[in-house]
């Protein structure tokens, strides 16, 4: 059971595209108004986001902490705020906090302390891409970033494809936008012609597209997605 003496935690989703606030449900603003302290992945962008959400918000009246990788110092500050009975908002740089995000370590700390945690609905590039891919949505695995080293990355790609075939699961991964095209080249070179690849670009943005094709078909029409936010799904 949660301790009533402790503060509580709201997990506040952020937009994937800053020009599309419609993806943020109205009740998120109600939660923001309850918060006294914010732990955020990027303070500058989080401040701008909340100001867009709530124009009358006086940003400097709140306490701000940057999560980074949720080092022990940050977790100690987080514990102190909960012990003081503060209502805390956790905000990721994009999408849902705690999902592929260092905020999960703060949530783990809140769980250990017995605090109330309230996750709020919002856009997740992982789920939105999976929903639109046509791939297996009952068995899937998010792998985060693949290795930068080419030989290691290629080995991992083959392993992910083999695991997908073996377990009938969808493999999901991401890349830094300026390395997208190199990753696409590697996938098209290393994976089997009949495996399926979904590329989801600019999710929720005006230039969004989400397309699933066989590796063979992608090879005939390679996309140029340099410096565009993208997520990749592979099923063998």
Chain centre to alpha carbon of residue 166: 27
Q: What pLDDT does residue 100 have?
A: 87
Q: What pLDDT does residue 120 have?
A: 98
- The residue-averaged pLDDT of 43-50 equals 96
Q: What pLDDT does residue 146 have?
A: 96
- How high does pLDDT run on average in the chain? 95
pLDDT of residue 5 exceeding 90, the answer is: no
- The residue-averaged pLDDT of 89-116 equals 94
- The residue-averaged pLDDT of 86-95 equals 96
Percent composition of the chain: helix, strand, coil (DSSP 3-state, to 5): 40, 20, 40
Segment among 27-41, 55-69, 122-136, 163-177 with least mean pLDDT: 55-69
CA atoms of 16 and 1, how far apart (whole Å):
34
DSSP per-residue letters across 140-170: EEEEEEPPSSHHHHHHHHHHHHHHHHHHT-E
Chain centre to alpha carbon of residue 130: 13
**Between vectors from CA 124 to CA 90 and to CA 179, what angle results, nearest 5°?**
100
pLDDT of residue 97 exceeding 90, the answer is: yes
Q: Determine contact, residues 57/51, Cβ cutoff 8 Å.
A: yes
Q: In this prediction, what percent of the chain has a pLDDT beyond 90? A: 94
* pTM as predicted: 0.91
Q: What pLDDT does residue 1 have?
A: 46
Per-residue model confidence as pLDDT tens digits over 157-208: 999 999 999 999 999 999 999 999 999 999 999 999 999 999 999 999 999 9
CA atoms of 183 and 160, how far apart (whole Å):
14
Residue 132 parent element (H or E)? helix 125-133
Which tokens belong to 191? 């994976």
- The residue-averaged pLDDT of 107-113 equals 97
pLDDT of residue 3 exceeding 60, the answer is: no
Cα-Cα-Cα-Cα torsion 43, 25, 36, 33, nearest 10 degrees, comes to 130
pLDDT of residue 70 exceeding 80, the answer is: no
């Amino acid at each position: 059971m949660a301790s009533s003496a402790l503060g509580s935690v709201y997990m506040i989703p952020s937009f994937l595209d800053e020009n599309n606030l419609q993806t943020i449900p109205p009740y998120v603003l109600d939660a923001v108004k309850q918060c006294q302290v914010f732990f955020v992945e990027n303070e500058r962008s989080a401040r701008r986001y909340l100001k867009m959400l709530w124009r009358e918000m006086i940003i400097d009246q709140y306490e701000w902490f940057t999560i980074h990788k949720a080092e022990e110092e940050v977790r100690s500050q987080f514990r102190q705020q909960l012990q003081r009975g503060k209502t805390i908002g956790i905000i990721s740089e994009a999408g849902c906090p705690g999902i592929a995000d260092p905020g999960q370590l703060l949530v783990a700390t809140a769980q250990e302390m017995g605090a109330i945690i309230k996750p709020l609905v919002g856009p997740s590039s992982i789920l939105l891409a999976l929903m639109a891919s046509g791939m297996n949505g009952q068995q899937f695995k998010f792998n985060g970033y693949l290795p930068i080293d080419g030989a290691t990355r290629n080995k991992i790609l083959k392993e992910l494809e083999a695991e997908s075939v073996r377990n009938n699961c969808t493999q999901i991964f991401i890349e830094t936008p300026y390395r997208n095209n190199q990753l696409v080249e590697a996938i098209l070179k290393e994976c089997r012609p009949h495996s399926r690849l979904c590329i989801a670009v600019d999710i929720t943005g005006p230039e969004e597209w989400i397309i699933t094709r066989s590796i063979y078909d992608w090879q005939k029409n390679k996309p140029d997605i340099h410096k565009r936010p993208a997520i990749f799904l592979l099923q063998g």
